[in-house]
Structure formats: C-alpha cells, structure tokens
C-alpha cells in the first residue's frame, strides 16, 4: 500500500494564480515538465491569462496547476467558444491525493462561468477520461513515404515552391487561415507568440509557405524533424505537418517537397473528417488514410449552449423545421462531469447516458463506430444525418 504524506498546511485553492505567484508557478511547471515551459507556452503563461491559470497552494509552494486558454472557434459557419487545457501538473510529493482531479474540475467550472461551450484537453490519461473526456474526430492521418515515387509525382505541381516564413508574413498567413471553414479564431497575438517561441504542438517547428510565383497560396507548420521529442539518434527523420491551410493541392505538394527539404523518410498530415478536399487530393495520389482522432480529448461544457450555436449548421443538414424544434437538455449544470443528455423534438426524445457517450456522438470518432443513443429510433436516425460536427485541431493553438 502506498502511504501518501498528509500536508502540514491545508490546501489554498483551486483558485486563480496570484499576481505575485509567477515564480512559484514557474518552479512547479519547470520541475514537472521542463524549465522552458513559460517560454514554450506563451498563450497560457501571460499576465492577461492569469485568471485561467488555476492553482492549489500549500504553504510556500504551488502544488497543482491546470491552465487553459479561451478562444472562439468556427465550425463550418457557427462560432463557438472553446477552452484548451494544458500544462496540468502536481508536484511529485503531492500526487495521488486528488488535487489534480479537483483542479481539473475547477477549470471546467471556471470555463463554464466564462461562457465556454467546449473544453479541449491536450491529454488522455485517467485524470480526464474518468470525468468523461474522450477522443473524438472521424479524421485520418495520411503518410507519404519518401520512396513512394508514384504518389510523390502525383502530388507534385510544377510551378509551386516552398518558401520559409517569418513573423513578417503574419498578415499573409492570417489571410489564408481566416478562410478555413473549421478553425480557431486566432488573434494576431497568437501568431506573434508562435513565431517568437518557435514551438507548435509542444515541439520546435518551422513555418513554410507554398508560393505559385505570384503569392502564397497555402502554408504548412511542421515539427522540425531533427527536434522531434523522444527521437533517438539513428531514427529515420520524418516531417509532421501540425497545421495547414489554403490550397489543398499546394498542401499535398508540400508533403513531397518537405521530404526533400529535410532529407526525411516520410511526411505525415492529419486530415479532419470535414476536409474532403485534402482527403481527395491525397487519395487520388494513391495514399490511404489511417483513422486517427483529433489531438487529445474533449468534453462538452455547455450542451444546450453549444447546440444552440450550431443549430444553423444542423438546419443546413436536416432542414429548418426539425432543427428549430429540437430541445437540448443536460441533467446537470454546465461544466459538471456527471449526468446525461436529452434531445427532443416535442414528441420524440433520445438520451446520451453521459459525457463519455456525448462527445463521440457529436464529433465522431476515428473508428466511425457511431455511438447509438437510447430512445426513439427515428429521431436518432434523423439526427445522425446532422452529425458529426467537425472536430477541431489545435495547431498553433495547442497548449
Ligand atoms: C497527472 C498529474 C497532474 C496528476 O496529479 P494528481 O494530483 O496526482 O492527480 P489525482 O490525485 O487526482 O490522480 C492521480 C492518480 O490517482 C488515482 N486516482 C485519483 N482519483 C481516482 C479515482 N476517483 N478513481 C480511481 N483512481 C483515482 C489515479 O491513479 C490517478 O492517476 P490517473 O489520473 O493517471 O488515472 C500528475 O501525476 C503529474 O503532474 N504528472 C506529470 C505531468 C503530466 O503528465 N501531466 C498531464 C499531462 S496530460
């Protein structure tokens, strides 16, 4: 049996980080992760985000931290509010006492009070899955091998070239990004921070544009193949595209061009279920996607609020009459981990038993084994035509 030492001082929190507690937080996340955390996660660790850095203090030290950012996100038109959790840490000597779990729930409650609809978590351990967070996304990962000459020829477009991008290119990047149908609505500050720290999705990254000679038609952000974490000497270099936007022909072209650029053995890209164009270009080039969830896990925070916002998208798929009759109810208040969900149209109802069933039902899952709700079969079948909603991919917004 493991005996966990009881603290001598009662825990203070969870609560927002105090304005004088930055050095204590730096110490905690430096100890648990690495000393560069403040540098690598500027979206989280900046003064304007202090209220969203949730901490527990015991005596002179912070023992637990759960941080999150809040951003709007576009889901094929509707705009929802998303919180992204990261840098979750408990000091080694304080672990196993439930502090992490308490602080995670506090983050959900605080996000809920801030009007957040959906939480994304950059992890999938028991701490999160126990409270209903799930992998979602009917997405695929495509891999282009350096030796696959036929597919490389098929994606290569004469006249397109890779161009390294710098912070000077932020206006051009932003203009390409803002035309994406599924994306975080990104303040310019986030681009500036990403170029400044050079870290995207936890890894040193390069930013490449694809130019057709007259201008940038697409961009890709890639992990630097020689700096991928946990890479061992002798491992084959590979290019991981962690964000793309713009012309899908140009993105596909970039996969092959990047293999040459880095002398890599393969390049891979995550393609959202909604991104039919990139999927089509890559399949036409002879590549097969492997089912892959979006990064991390999600939990809905405010079910009626979220569904109210995406109602126009649902109406586009199943018609105005049914969409406008739908009533979305949660058993518990927004932010709560417990309870189930009911959807009714006045005469028929269906039920999702809990958060674990709700997330994959709404946003799809990689196996495409759509969870079946309980209740009226005909309503379930009609709603299946309205789903899945697109799963968001972090890219530059990863924390
Ligand atoms: C992950 C971490 C934050 C957990 O902090 P903590 O304060 O020990 O969290 P808790 O006490 O609430 O839970 C710890 C463990 O106790 C056990 N536990 C806690 N509540 C439990 C419950 N209700 N039922 C069963 N087991 C439970 C679990 O084994 C749990 O581990 P798990 O979440 O991986 O399943 C901490 O271990 C840490 O800092 N790890 C290194 C950094 C890291 O991995 N961060 C997460 C990035 S995704």
pLDDT of residue 232: 83
Query: Is the CB of residue 99 below 6 angstroms from any atom belonging to ligand 1?
Result: yes
CA angle 78, 295, 44 (to 5 degrees): 80
pLDDT beyond 90 at 90: yes
What would the mean pLDDT of 319-327 be, rounded to a whole number?
98
pLDDT classification of 5: cutoffs 50, 70, 90: low
Residue 198: other Cβ atoms inside 10 A = 15
What residues form DSSP beta bridges with 118?
82, 300
- Contacts for 239 with CB less than 8 Å, ≥ 6 apart: 222, 223, 225, 255, 258, 259, 262, 264, 266, 267, 268
Q: How far is the CA of 203 from the centre of ligand 1 (A)?
A: 24
The best mutation among 14, 101, 104, 295 to test binding of ligand 1, ranked by most ligand atoms within 8 Å of the C-beta, falls on: 101
Pairwise CA distance, residues 197 & 199, whole Å: 5
CATH fold match for the domains 12-116 and 139-292: yes
Q: How far is the CA of 286 from the centre of ligand 1 (A)?
A: 43
Q: How far is the CA of 67 from the centre of ligand 1 (A)?
A: 16
Query: Is the CB of residue 125 below 6 angstroms from any atom belonging to ligand 1?
Result: yes
- Residues above pLDDT 70, as percent of the chain: 97
pLDDT classification of 85: cutoffs 50, 70, 90: very high
pLDDT classification of 10: cutoffs 50, 70, 90: confident
pLDDT of residue 1: 44
Fold of 139-292: Aminopeptidase (3.40.630)
CA nearest ligand 1 atom 14, residue: 96
Query: Is the CB of residue 88 below 6 angstroms from any atom belonging to ligand 1?
Result: yes
Fold of 12-116: Aminopeptidase (3.40.630)
Pairwise CA distance, residues 270 & 211, whole Å: 22
Domain ranges of the chain: 12-116, 139-292, 298-384
pLDDT beyond 60 at 337: yes
- Contacts for 210 with CB less than 8 Å, ≥ 6 apart: 160, 161, 162, 163, 216, 217, 218, 219, 220, 246, 247, 250, 251, 253, 254, 257
User: Which of 299-303, 367-371, 395-399 bottoms out in mean pLDDT, i.e. has the lowest?
Assistant: 367-371
Q: Which two tokens stand for residue 227?
A: 């700096």
Query: Is the CB of residue 92 below 6 angstroms from any atom belonging to ligand 1?
Result: no
pLDDT classification of 293: cutoffs 50, 70, 90: very high
- Over residues 62-81, the pLDDT tens digits come to 999 999 999 999 999 999 99
Q: How far is the CA of 41 from the centre of ligand 1 (A)?
A: 22
What would the mean pLDDT of 290-299 be, rounded to a whole number?
97
pLDDT beyond 80 at 368: no
| Ligand 1 atom nearest residue 126's Cα | 35
CA nearest ligand 1 atom 23, residue: 130
CA nearest ligand 1 atom 35, residue: 126
- Residues above pLDDT 90, as percent of the chain: 94
Query: Is the CB of residue 123 below 6 angstroms from any atom belonging to ligand 1?
Result: yes
pLDDT classification of 386: cutoffs 50, 70, 90: very high
Cis peptide before 352 (omega within 30 of 0): no
Q: Which two tokens stand for residue 105?
A: 């729930």
Pairwise CA distance, residues 219 & 162, whole Å: 9
pLDDT classification of 231: cutoffs 50, 70, 90: confident
Q: How far is the CA of 65 from the centre of ligand 1 (A)?
A: 12
The best mutation among 30, 95, 121 to test binding of ligand 1, ranked by most ligand atoms within 8 Å of the C-beta, falls on: 95
CA nearest ligand 1 atom 21, residue: 98
pLDDT beyond 80 at 303: yes
pLDDT beyond 70 at 352: yes
Average pLDDT, the chain: 96
**In terms of pLDDT, which residue wins out, 3 or 273?**
273
- Over residues 112-138, the pLDDT tens digits come to 999 999 999 999 999 999 999 999 999
């Amino acid at each position: 049996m493991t005996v966990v030492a009881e603290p001598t001082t009662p825990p203070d929190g969870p609560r927002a980080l105090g304005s004088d507690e930055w050095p204590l937080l730096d110490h905690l996340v430096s100890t648990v992760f690495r000393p560069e955390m403040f540098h690598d996660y500027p979206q989280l660790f900046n003064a304007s985000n202090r209220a969203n850095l949730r901490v527990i203090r015991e005596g002179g030290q912070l023992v637990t931290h759960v941080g999150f950012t809040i951003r709007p996100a576009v889901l094929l038109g509707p705009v929802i509010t998303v919180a992204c959790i990261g840098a979750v840490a408990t000091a080694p000597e304080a672990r196993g006492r439930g502090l992490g779990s308490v602080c995670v729930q506090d983050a959900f409650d605080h996000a809920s009070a801030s009007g957040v609809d959906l939480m994304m978590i950059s992890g999938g351990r028991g701490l999160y899955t126990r409270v209903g967070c799930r992998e979602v996304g009917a997405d695929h990962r495509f891999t282009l091998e350096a030796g696959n000459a036929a597919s490389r020829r098929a994606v290569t477009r004469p006249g397109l070239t890779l161009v390294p991008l710098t912070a000077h290119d932020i206006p051009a990047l932003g203009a390409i990004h803002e035309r994406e149908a599924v994306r975080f609505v990104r303040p310019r500050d986030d681009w500036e921070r990403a170029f400044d720290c050079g870290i995207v999705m936890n890894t040193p990254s390069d930013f490449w544009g694809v130019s057709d000679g007259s201008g940038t038609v697409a961009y890709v952000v890639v992990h630097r193949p020689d700096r991928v974490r946990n890479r061992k000497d002798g491992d084959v270099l590979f290019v991981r595209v962690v964000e793309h936007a713009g012309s899908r022909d140009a993105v596909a072209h970039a996969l092959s061009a990047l293999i040459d650029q880095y002398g890599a053995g393969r390049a891979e890209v995550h393609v959202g279920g909604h991104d039919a164009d990139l999927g089509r270009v890559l399949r036409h080039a002879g590549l097969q996607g492997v089912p892959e969830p979006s990064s991390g896990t999600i939990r809905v925070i405010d079910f009626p609020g979220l569904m109210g916002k995406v109602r126009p998208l649902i109406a586009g798929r199943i018609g105005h009459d049914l969409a406008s009759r739908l009533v979305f109810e949660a058993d518990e208040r927004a932010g709560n981990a417990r309870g189930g969900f009911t959807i009714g149209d006045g005469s028929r109802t269906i039920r999702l038993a809990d958060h674990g069933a709700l997330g994959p039902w709404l946003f799809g899952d990689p196996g495409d084994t759509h969870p079946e709700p309980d209740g009226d079969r005909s309503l379930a079948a009609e709603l299946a035509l309205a789903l899945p909603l697109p799963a968001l991919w972090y890219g530059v917004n990863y924390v």
